[in-house]
Amino acid sequence: MNNEKLKEGVFKQKIIHELSEVGWVSLYLAVFFCALSTYSMLMLRELNVTNSYFRYGFALINALVIAKIILIGEYARLGRGQENKPLIISVLWKPFLFGLLVAAFHVFEEAFKRLALREPIRMRVDEVLVRNLVVFSFLIPFFAFWELRRVLGEGKLFDLFFRRGPLVESNVSDGGKAA
């Protein structure tokens, strides 16, 4: 009976952690996608092309989907081989790999949509490349913070940004000189 309660508690913690991860990643992505939607709507307005505010809804849905793709890639340990190298390597390698993963899902989604609509499958390579460049560029700061969180330890990065006071008591208070 005690073992069952322990398993139930661990399961609840995992669910809460997973929802928190999806929430934070989705929020980060939603900000970028909504900004891109706003930019494209403003550009299209200059060309007298009518727009729809549905773009924001699509931006939020894309944020949730791509957040889940990123978390699936993390669970599959994508890019983990670079984690023992300098942080900059990991911070640049993971956006590249995850950008490719997101591009693959996008190509699959477009192909599936075209097949469902009985349309020919064709995609412009330049459009896929530009989309992947945009994804790569907003994944760099994301993975910079993600990797900092990994290196500092769970919760420490959050504490640095949102709590007052020293993060970690350090025995080096004289600028790195030994006493």
What gap in Å lies between CA 105 and CA 133, rounded to an integer? 15
Q: Judge if pTM exceeds 0.75.
A: no
Q: What is the pLDDT of residues 103-138, one digit of tens each?
A: 888 888 888 888 888 888 777 788 888 888 888 898
pLDDT attached to residue 8: 76
Q: What is the pLDDT of residues 162-179, one digit of tens each?
A: 887 665 554 434 444 444
Kind plus residue range of the DSSP H or E element containing 134? helix 125-152
The tokens describing 139, both together, are 């994944």
Q: What is the pLDDT of residues 88-112, one digit of tens each?
A: 999 999 999 999 888 888 888 888 8
Cα end-to-end span (Å), the chain? 54
